[in-house]
Homo-oligomer: A and B are copies of this chain.
Amino acid sequence: MQFFNKINPIGIFDSGIGGLTVVKKIASFLPNENIVYFGDTARVPYGNKSNSTVIEYAIQDAAFLMKKNIKLLVVACNTVSSVAIDILKEKLDIPVIGMIEPGVKLALEKTMNNRIGVIGTYATVGNKAYTTALKKNDENVEVFEKPCPLFVPLAEEGLTKHRATELIAEEYLSGLKELDIDTLILGCTHYPILSDIIQNVMGDKVKLIDSGTAASLVVEEYLNARGLRNESHQQGSYQYYVSDLPRKFKEIAERFLGNQIDHVDKIDLETLIASGR
């Protein structure tokens, strides 16, 4: 185990910009921590790639952040969390926190009737990672998964209050609502952007589980347990890296982050791939 300084940053990566909703939550729960974010915007989305490719990319993304001397890694991507988390844990000598386990843990704490819904992309719902993890923790829980693929582009387009988004949410969620779930896991880091509409459709009695909130609680636990909390009383610093700067990146990123981004560094793919070697 390397020596880690408490002031070292938390590393967070995602295949794109969805992970910024996780940065937002961690920054609000742990405002003194420094954060380095990497979004692999050149190779997004990971959800339609083979497991071996996702693992290869994840190792590169993590290796790039390791060079920034991170003390803990958050995998803010559901696809990587479901495919590559064990390999990353094995390879890295720092704590690695994915999206699935924290969401599952928090959902099981919150549910009263043991009926939990999960929404995500086709990739996430298709591999049943949440159902598997929920049942492993509590075999009596009933899980209902539903893909909501249009939520990602609607969030990126910023149609967070649009009637069209409400109609699509009603179409996707009405089946889940009838199943009497009391807890709904937002199994995609883009979905918190649409949480108002999702909550409206599901009704006030259904508790939404945001992966960013769930991960923040686990990050705090890990840092406390290992004596790694940054004890500075100052606001943490934030660094953002991406592998490509797509059009409207700053606008979308700031919406996801809920804050201004002063500076983003674009790293080239060769550097990224070399990191993984």
CB within 8 Å of B: which residues of A?
A: 41-42, 44, 48-50, 122-123, 126, 149-150, 152-154, 156-157, 159, 162-165, 167-168, 171, 244, 246-248
Is the CB–CB distance between A48 and B244 below 8 Å?
yes
Using A50-B244, A246-B48 as known contacts, say yes or no to A162 and B167 having CB atoms under 8 A apart: yes
Can you offer 19 A-B residue contacts whose CB atoms are under 8 A? A42-B50, A44-B48, A48-B244, A122-B248, A126-B247, A149-B156, A150-B150, A150-B154, A150-B157, A150-B159, A153-B153, A159-B168, A162-B167, A162-B168, A163-B164, A164-B164, A164-B168, A164-B171, A167-B167
> A44 CA to B49 CA in the complex, in Å?
10
Report chain B residues within 8 Å CB of A164: 163-165, 167-168, 171
CA distance A126 to B247 in the complex (A): 8
Task: Quote the shortest CB–CB distance from A126 to chain B (angstroms).
Answer: 5
Give Cα A167 to B50, complex, Å. 35
Cβ B122 vs Cβ A247 within 8 A:
yes
Chain B residues positioned under 8 Å from A50 (CB to CB): 42, 244
Q: Whole-angstrom distance between the alpha carbons of A164 and B162 in the complex? A: 9
In whole angstroms, how far apart are the Cα atoms of A165 and B126 in the complex? 25
Top 5 nearest A-B pairs by Cβ distance? A164-B167, A164-B164, A153-B153, A122-B247, A164-B168
